[in-house]
């Protein structure tokens, strides 16, 4: 049976970037067919990015599919889970980019993501999405990044708590960096 894993990068990055190369190599060594998802970040909302991912997914899925998303990629993975229905979804450093997060989103972050993306966050409920998940879910975030970004910590924990079949992993000492050594170890233990 072919095991296909879709990798969705974080905001303004691509899977071809250096921080993801260890992940691609590791997954290939474990006999996964790796499908790097290319995202057009500029001038697009996350809802548009999710549509872009679904088109790619439909053209590349196999009999056994897994999805791993980092940061904004995790938001896209969560938003589309009820359509893709993978065997497992791995949310790494799930960004607080949902309507429940908007009232506490710092001004600097609103400015960084832009007005259209900020307005787009109000169109999706993290609670509703988490409760509707029908697959195995692993949510993880770094211990250091949880201290640096309390909203990210809250979003990851709430999502894991609301999902039916889930596991929450807090990665020791890790910042918001998927290539950090303890983050790599945690992912390797899950996949």
CATH code, 3-190 = 3.40.50.1820
pLDDT at 162: 97
> What per-residue confidence (pLDDT) applies to 32?
97
* Residue-range domain boundaries for the chain: 3-190
Beta bridge partners of 168: 139
> What does the pLDDT profile of the chain (191 residues) look like in tens digits?
899 999 999 999 999 999 999 999 999 999 999 999 999 999 999 999 999 999 999 999 999 999 999 999 999 999 999 999 999 999 999 999 999 999 999 999 999 999 999 999 999 999 999 999 989 999 999 999 999 999 999 999 999 999 999 999 999 999 999 999 999 999 999 99
If you write DSSP's letter for every residue of 82-144 in order, what string do you get? HHH--SEEEEES----SGGGGGG--HHHHHHH-HHHHHHHTT--HHHHHHH--SEEEEEEEHH
Do the strands 64-70 and 33-36 form a parallel or antiparallel pair, or are they unpaired?
Answer: unpaired
Which pLDDT score, from 0 to 100, does residue 184 have? 98
What residue has token string 């990055």? 13
Sheet of strand 166-171: strand arrangement: 33-36, 3-8, 64-70, 88-92, 136-142, 166-171
Q: What is the pLDDT of residue 186?
A: 98
């Amino acid at each position: 049976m072919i095991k296909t894993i879709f990798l969705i990068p974080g905001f303004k990055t691509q899977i071809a970037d250096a921080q993801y190369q260890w992940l691609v190599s590791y997954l290939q060594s474990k006999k996964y067919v790796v499908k790097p998802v290319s995202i057009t970040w500029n001038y697009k909302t996350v809802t548009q990015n999710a549509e872009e991912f679904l088109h790619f997914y439909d053209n590349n899925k196999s009999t056994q599919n897994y999805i791993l998303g980092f940061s904004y990629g995790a938001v896209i993975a969560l938003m589309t889970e009820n359509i893709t229905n993978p065997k497992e979804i791995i949310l790494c450093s799930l960004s607080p980019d949902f309507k429940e997060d908007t009232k506490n989103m710092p001004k600097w972050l609103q400015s960084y993501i832009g007005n259209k993306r900020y307005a787009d966050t109000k169109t999706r409920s993290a609670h509703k999405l988490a409760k509707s998940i029908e697959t195995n879910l692993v949510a993880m975030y770094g211990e250091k990044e949880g201290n640096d970004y309390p909203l990210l910590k809250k979003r990851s924990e709430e999502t894991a708590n609301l999902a039916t079949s889930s596991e929450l992993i807090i990665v020791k000492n890790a910042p918001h960096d998927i290539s950090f050594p303890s983050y790599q170890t945690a992912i390797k233990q899950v996949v």
